[in-house]
Copies of this chain bind each other. A is one copy, B any other.
């Protein structure tokens, strides 16, 4: 099934929103406006959007330290996210969480996570819940190529197979965990999902820089999992355009590596090319989206700057629902 024009425009809008959100963050962080540790998702947009465009708010996802893209793709409010990263009480988490801990259960976004590998078991629990509810909903754990070496990820995969839970393990292989190369740290030296396969799971592999490929692969994955056939894993080959964290000098990159990636592996460029060449969308329509998106991000930043700041009394709020 082809995507409708509206759906295509929506997908593009989502990808562009993630990109614009992050590039603006990159600038603001350089200016020193933003506190804390921030990891940019830039370059991987086609994965988050290609996965989440299949989901509704009752499907659940669990994210990572590099979570902005997943949050936006799943429907978190972009202004609320920006305010959160700015530390305002109007942020999605009231300024308590920041970049690494954005969540919005109302849209099925159960939480970003600062602990590598911690999300997968949580996603399996959410999948158990979905199974119990019997509405064909799924739960997705996003993980990196680094996270696939964490024991928790393996335990989660086995647990999902054993309980036949509708969990999907999406591995975004951007070939780096911090400053270390995938080929060094991942013992198999070829891929990640062969591990998932060894747990008895059905697996897929696809190019994560091509939205259409991600989207179509996920259609198959979701058909399998929603059909009650147990968990699945999929590995997307993708690229990270900025440093591991903001401030990373990226000395582990080869000469010209980043230039090549920007030229050849930019999922937004690739989307535009494919969509316009096939006459699905017109360049100026896409430019129109770009403008709207940039305006939204401007507004998000302006609102964030003006948003109320927390007070010392806020520290003790929301530890418990009720303690005594």
**Interface residues in chain A, defined as those with a beta carbon under 8 Å from any beta carbon in chain B:** 149-155, 157-158, 160-162, 184-189, 194-195, 197-201
Whether B149 lies near A151 (C-beta < 8 A) is no
Whether B162 lies near A184 (C-beta < 8 A) is yes
Q: DSSP majority for the A interface?
A: helix
A155 and B162 contact, Cβ closer than 8 Å, known pairs A188-B199, A195-B198:
no
Copy number in the complex reads: 2
22 A–B pairs (Cβ distance < 8 Å), ordered by A: A149-B155, A149-B158, A150-B151, A151-B151, A151-B152, A151-B154, A151-B155, A154-B154, A157-B187, A158-B187, A161-B187, A161-B188, A162-B185, A187-B199, A188-B199, A188-B200, A189-B200, A194-B198, A195-B195, A195-B199, A197-B198, A198-B198
State how many angstroms separate the Cβ of A270 from the closest Cβ of chain B. Answer: 31
A188 and B184 contact, Cβ closer than 8 Å, known pairs A150-B151, A152-B151:
no
State how many angstroms separate the Cβ of A311 from the closest Cβ of chain B. Answer: 41
State how many angstroms separate the Cβ of A125 from the closest Cβ of chain B. Answer: 16
Could you tell me the distance between the alpha carbons of A160 and B187 in the complex, rounded to whole angstroms?
A: 8
Could you tell me the distance between the alpha carbons of A58 and B197 in the complex, rounded to whole angstroms?
A: 37
State how many angstroms separate the Cβ of A79 from the closest Cβ of chain B. Answer: 38
State how many angstroms separate the Cβ of A192 from the closest Cβ of chain B. Answer: 10
State how many angstroms separate the Cβ of A177 from the closest Cβ of chain B. Answer: 12
Q: Which B residues are CB-close (under 8 A) to A152?
A: 151
Closest residue of chain B to A148 (Cβ to Cβ) is B158
Closest residue of chain B to A157 (Cβ to Cβ) is B187
